[in-house]
Structure 1
């Protein structure tokens, strides 16, 4: 899907929320408990799908608790994964608009 739509858009914004992956996806027993690895493997898939395209990749990252309490470390691991995959930025999402203090510290 990202490859097909990439012909028509300049940026793809995938929702790479670890809580939305099923147990066993990407070979991870509990993706929600491994946010950095989950986001990294998800972004690797998107990079492969967009290979050869000029489409930018800017993921949405999870900054909310669903099933378990998310911590600053969980958010930082996702941000590190996005940076390691050289995304053109990232977006944090919290449905209540209450973001983790320190997550965007310089």
Structure 2
């Protein structure tokens, strides 16, 4: 598991948006995203990020405090220490006040020709 310097997230909301700050949880600590643009309203796109500079044992997107948040697509761009940046894309999910989406994915394994 590499040290995570920073991550950026792009969220495309479906037919049910949410109000309030977009929060994530890293290693059991819940914090709001920074450098936010866009909206989490229905049919809108939101982008944000966070400078972590730590090891991500767990990293989740937190659901809204009230109601449902229908998410069509999530793209996470990871900027780890000592290895190349990488991205992951996640499909549709519905979050509520009791659910979180695991957005941490290990970096791809190196490939080489033999």
Instruction: Return the TM-score normalized by structure 2.
Output: 0.30
**If you compute each CA radius of gyration, which structure gives the higher value, 1 or 2?**
2
Return the structure number with greater helix share: 1
Instruction: Return the TM-score normalized by structure 1.
Output: 0.32
